Structure formats: structure tokens, C-alpha cells
Structure 1
């Protein structure tokens, strides 16, 4: 039996594409292996969003190509955003690559495999207008109790710094029925936590139903037996409406956790980014969310060093972060991307200044995070057990509703020996640190 190895880079949205491609390979009697030495075919699902992601993708491709010499690998296939974006150039400049499968061609992954096995080099791109559905086999790579579900593909917001519309196409929502059917299947497999993802989850339904329908979708998903947590990620603030806030506040299954990328807090920079919110509108939304949803955790992200960002703009962003005291913040250094409006702007910021602003904002958020985590001491949380420290088998680690998988800190639970992974246990927080919490099982 032929064996294929897979490396998935970038975001959770890319991971779902990987899992669907794994399903296609399995349906064609190809065995999936974690050992690259044993793989006949190695597939790298790449990210091409910013410079650091592109560099990681290229390095991984070259690393996997070494197994053509040191293993049984007969070819390396590049899938995902990097291949979609650079296409023939990538094939020409990397002789190690046997085939490229763009974001619009992942259903043709077997065509690429067959070509490589026949000794051919192929470029498969296709139109960026496809999206998987519930009828397709999907091999989840996340823990058995947690899964990502992509509710839409592409993006139509056209932020001036972003290449996503170029490589993923315009926004297109899946039907409610398709998503509900998929989540039911996952629940039957033992999944407890559903993480809803898209480039912009709050825009869900606008293209298909004429208006945002995320609340409608959630009302159907909470009915599904076996699902304990439903988490909302990548929520664009423009369509985060009152109906959605009320639903999160009153529905126990929906995590009181909102991932709300804001990108900046000064109106001039927001406008240059082609973001459709002003600072006053953002502050008003944050106030409504916190007033309506006690215990809510808000995660956001910011870009520093955007072209034209002055010291005054940056100071305004710092003041905003200090005032809002977000529970979770990710900071990204602006990456000048070709084929984007922002990439052509003058007043590009020197790398040294961007680095300095990154570290300064992160240091500010670190202190805020530590203070907020110390405020958690003495409070009770249900913790989803995810693993153990081999050197301290009595100490488990996991997450509560306050932590999203892969991006947030951990809760370490003392007195939790022998609990099965995926079990929810009550625990009291005894100590808060910058990113993690220490708790005792109750």
C-alpha cells in the first residue's frame, strides 16, 4: 500500500483543507503515515500570508525534499496558499517540488499523486470558488474531543494589507444544513468542542441568505446532542450584532469567548487598512459585549508598523490596549506583500521600528495578561483535560472555555491523575501567571 505523509502549516482553516485531502487519499487506498522516512509521497499544505509564513513554508518544503534522498519518498507535492499565489514561479524555482496543488484544486490531489508516481511534474490550480461539504470524508488530526468546522471560505473584505482574496477567492458560505450535518457526524464520533472558523465568521450567510446568519446557524448547532462547547473564532467586528451578543450571553453551549481581530485602534490607520470600523464603533461594541456577557474573554490581534503609522498612531494603539485590558492579544509585524494596496504605499516603516513596536506592545500586554490571570485566583472553572506531564503524572494540563486550542495558554491541574483525555473536570484556580494558570481539582 502506498503511504503519504502530510505537513500542514498556517491557520486552522488550512488544517481543515488538509484533513479533507487526507480523506481523499484514504478513499483511494493510500495509507497516511507520520513517518516521513516511510512515505512514498510527501505533501506540504503551505501558508503564504506573510513573509514569516512563506519562509516557514519554503524551509519545510526543502526539508521534506531531503527524504527523496534519505527515505523512500518519490515526490513532494506543495498544496495551499503558497502554491496558489506563486504557481509556475514556485515550480520553476524549486526543482525539489514535484507538483503544485492550489487552493482551488485540492479535490485533484489524487491527480497530483498519480502524476508524481508516473514521474511527471504538474501544476494544478483551478478556480478559487470551491469549498468542502459534509459529504466528503475528512480525517481529523485534532484530538478526538475537539474539531474545527469551516463555515465559509474566502473573503470579500479586501483589507489593504491582505492577500487572502487573491488566494482564496471571494466570500462564500456553506448552507446551514451542510454545517449542521457535519457537526452531527463529529458529535457521533465523540467530539465535544466545535471551533467555528472562516476568514470572517460574522459575515456568515450574507452571500447566501442576503444578511448575516451566524446566529441562525448557532441556534441549530446548540441543539446537537453531545456537543458541549461551541467556540467562535475570526469574528470580524462589523457584523457582530445585538442578536449574536444576546445568544452568546444566554446559550450555555456557546463559549463566552470571542475572537475579534481589530488590527489597530487609530482611525487613520484603520482607514488606510480598509477596515470598516472606527475606534468609537469598536469601543461601543466592546462595551456592549462586556456588559451583556459576564465573564467573557475577548481575544484580538493588532498589526504594528503599517505604512504611515506614526509614533502618535502607535501611542494611541498602546493607550487603547491599556484601557481595554484584553484577556488575549496577538501582535503581528506588518509584512509588505506584493499585489496589495498597502504594499504599494509610501512611508513604509523600517524593520527596526516595527520590531521595537512589536516588543513594546507585547510587553504591555504581558503585564495586563498576568494581572488578569492573578485576578482569576480562587475562581472555579471546568477544565478540559488534554494531557499530562510525564515527570509529574499527578498534574494534568488542559483548557477552560477561556482558552482556544493552539493559540492560548494552559491550565495545569493538580490532583488529576488518571483522568481520561477529553474529560471536563471542575478545578479551582490557585495561581495565575502571564499566560498559564495553576489549579487544583475539586
Structure 2
């Protein structure tokens, strides 16, 4: 990483020098993180230098998320803080990208004066052209860096986006308005990016999409997601593959069979149900009902033995009654999800659901959220307890330092089914190793294991 002494502000701009120290702040999902990594690589290729803290940067890029109202507020707060800094350091440049770029004019208007550039993250050339035209601080030779300084370099787990955008219209979701329609990448392009990340140390790659299982449906030729998985499995670019996020309505037997038959594809999937009540699902525009979802889960478990299933749930959707909410709790008990991501409904301007009004009392939303969390904790404890005494294949991700609350360093890794596993730090392990572990203990959120052998 470029060496910049703590507390030393960037040098004043030198006219004609268009080489910047840059910092990218990222909010939101894994797709945003992958976009930030792609932007950073383009900037490095153009001669700009990444730094580890925004105070050291002459150019700050904010990659914002809009999935919930508080996500936009977080981004706007960052813009405000940087605007105050620009008054002290007028040469500082600030750019905005990500889903926040497509916020309404009224939402963006107060923040535009503090921004030097607003660009779509699919058009990085606009950022490159702008940065090349702006005076930047002198970046000395001693500030050169190695490829290891690039975001994600050397991490055993990486992401590759395979499809951008979303063409669905769930009534609560702002993403299609912020990300645009579906655009699948050519498989050759995906393979090239995977090879690059494998060469940098990736052992496990997660294929990303807003609805990843709609991959290929917007292209006249080329594979669908099942075909892409089979193609990547034959090439064995990395030993472990995941994909995220799959829409239940578009999950079929062909994809389940690809999961079962491809050795590199792991037995874990996220299938957001959102609600367990048919009327709420209809008003959400999800395209399936409770019985359909349960039949799909049964087919998946029959086809992929031992598969771990996570889901997303929204509580407090407009008009949701207590009985309708209880239907969600009952579905959670019936399916026994490994993980449930629970959110209280947050209206987003421009969506259909926003027009219906946010009519559930915040205290009721919070109470329902806590009931979901409590139930899922009990279910996860039971599911994970069944793994005690089993042997699991684990990818070692990192050595965590000793914790302030006590306890020495510990290794952290994940099973094929994405269970978090901890092992004693004294064990002779290393990041990127795939090892067999005997599971010795379990909580609702993680497992404890003893390493046996490297795979």
C-alpha cells in the first residue's frame, strides 16, 4: 500500500499531474463490493494509487446502496462529511456511484454541490476521464505498490458478478429502478475474471446476481445458470463455487441437478421466501405461493442431500395481520432454514408498496422481528447441534487475533454448507487450506472443530 504517514494530509495539487491517491467506500451487498474491486483495478491500471483511509486520499469514491432507506441515509451522511472536508481541502474530489446514483432528483439535490462526479458503475471510463482531467497530488516513486495491495488480493474467497440488474417487479423493492434490467455477461468473460482471481489466491468464488438464476435468459445464445455451473465445473478453475441470490420462482430441477452433479458447486443456497402467507406474497408480487415454495424446497432436498438453505423474511409489510405473520413463523418451523435474514419493512420511494402506506406500527414490526429471531435461534441451535460428531470439509479463511473478552487466537473457516467454524489458533493451519474437521461443539451461529487432515 502507498506509504502515507498518519495525520499527514495529501499534498496540494500540482497542475498537469492527473495521478491520484484514491479511496473507495462501499456500502451494501456483495455485488457492490465486487463493483468496487473492479473500479479499483481500472484506477490502478490508469496509474492511480489506492490508500487505506479516506483522509489520505485526494479522490474519494462512494459506492452507495439503496436497498433500504437507512442505506441511502448512510451514503448521504458520508457525502456531508466529505463536503465539510472539501471546504478545508478544496482540491479534494468526491464521486458517487452505485445504486444511490439513481435516487430521485429530490433526494440527490441537496448533495449534488458536494459531488464532483456522479457516474454509473458500469461506465468506469467516465471516472477515468474525469480523474485524468483533474490535478492530483504528486505521487512519488516510493509510493509504488505491489499487486497484493489491490482489494481482495490473496483472499481465499472472492466474488464474480455474472448478471447485472433485475427485471422483476417485487412491490417492495427499489433495486430494478436503481440497477436497471437484466444483463448477463458472456461466459468467456466470467471465466477470464475467475482465472485472474484464482491466480491471486482465490479458492472459493461466489457467482453473483440480483437474481442469479436468471443468468442467460436475456441472451439468445449461451448457457443458463445450470449450464454455466457445468461449464465452470468441467474447467475446475477453483475447487469451490457458490452462487447468490436465487429467486424461488426461477429455481428448477435442472439447476438442482447441476448442484448435485458438479463437484465444485457447494451444497448451500439462499432462496428468499419473504413471507409465509399467500396474500402477503401476492401483494409482494413474488410470483409463487406457500405450497409452491414448499414443493420446491422438497424437490431441492430430494435432489441435493444435505443442502443448507438460507432465506430472507420481511416483517411488517403493509397490511400484514398477526395471523399472516404467524404463517411466516409456521413456515420457518416447517422448512427449518439454516439461516434467516430478517428485516422490518422499509418503504422505498417509487415502489408500489410505498403507495400503500407504512401502516404497521414500528413497535409491532420490532416485536415481530424479535419473534422471528428468537425462533430462528432455536432452530439453528438444533440444526447445528446435529452436526456435533460429524466430519466437515472446511476452507480456512483467516487467523483471528485474541479477543478482548478473553481467549487466544483462533482459525476461522467455512464448511461446504457455509457454516462458520472456529478452531484453536495453535493448530498448524493456513489461510486457503481446505481441511477435514471433526465438529466438537455448536451454537446457533457457529461450530467448533478440530482439524484432522488437509484435503
Structures share a fold, TM > 0.5?
yes
Matched, 1:171 2:186: no
Secondary structure of the structure 2 residue equivalent to 1:419:
coil
Report what 1:378 is aligned to. 389
Q: Give CA-to-partner distance per residue, 1:393-414, whole Å, 9 cap, x none.
A: 66311111122xxxxx631112
Deviation at 1:163, TM superposition (A): 1.2
Matched, 1:76 2:76: no
Q: In 2 relative to 1, CA 283–212 (structure 1 residues): closer, same or farther, beyond 3 Å?
A: farther
Q: For residues 198 and 111 of structure 2, what CA distance do their matches in structure 1 show?
A: 44
Deviation at 1:153, TM superposition (A): 0.7
Aligned residues between the structures: 418
Q: Which runs of 4+ in 1 moved over 6 A?
A: 69-73
1:24-35 equivalences under 5 Å are: 24-35=42-53
Matched, 1:402 2:402: no
Query: Contact 1:40–1:72 (CA<8 Å) still a contact in 2?
Result: no
1:203-214 equivalences under 5 Å are: 203-209=214-220, 213-214=224-225
Q: For residues 180 and 158 of structure 2, what CA distance do their matches in structure 1 show?
A: 24
Deviation at 1:418, TM superposition (A): 4.5
Query: Contact 2:229–2:262 (CA<8 Å) still a contact in 1?
Result: no
Deviation at 1:435, TM superposition (A): 0.3
Report what 1:427 is aligned to. 437
Matched, 1:278 2:289: yes
Q: Give CA-to-partner distance per residue, 1:118-150, whole Å, 9 cap, x none.
A: 9xxxxxxxxxxxxxxxxxxx9543653221111
Matched, 1:220 2:231: yes
Q: Give CA-to-partner distance per residue, 1:340-398, whole Å, 9 cap, x none.
A: 11110146222221111111111111111111111110111121112223336663111
With a CA cutoff of 8 Å and minimum separation of 6, indicate the structure with the bigger relative contact order.
2
Unaligned runs of 5+ in 1: 119-137, 404-408
Report what 1:289 is aligned to. 300
Q: CA RMSD in A?
A: 2.4
Secondary structure of the structure 2 residue equivalent to 1:396:
strand
Unaligned runs of 5+ in 2: 1-18, 137-148
Report what 2:161 is aligned to. 150
Pick the aligned partner of 1:253 from 236, 254, 264: 264
Q: For residues 87 and 192 of structure 1, what CA distance do their matches in structure 2 show?
A: 43
1:106-121 equivalences under 5 Å are: 106-114=124-132, 117=135
Matched, 1:234 2:245: yes
Deviation at 1:115, TM superposition (A): 5.9
Matched, 1:355 2:366: yes
Secondary structure of the structure 2 residue equivalent to 1:356:
helix
Query: Contact 2:101–2:178 (CA<8 Å) still a contact in 1?
Result: no
Deviation at 1:51, TM superposition (A): 1.2
Larger radius of gyration: 2
Query: Contact 1:163–1:337 (CA<8 Å) still a contact in 2?
Result: yes
Query: Contact 1:200–1:235 (CA<8 Å) still a contact in 2?
Result: yes
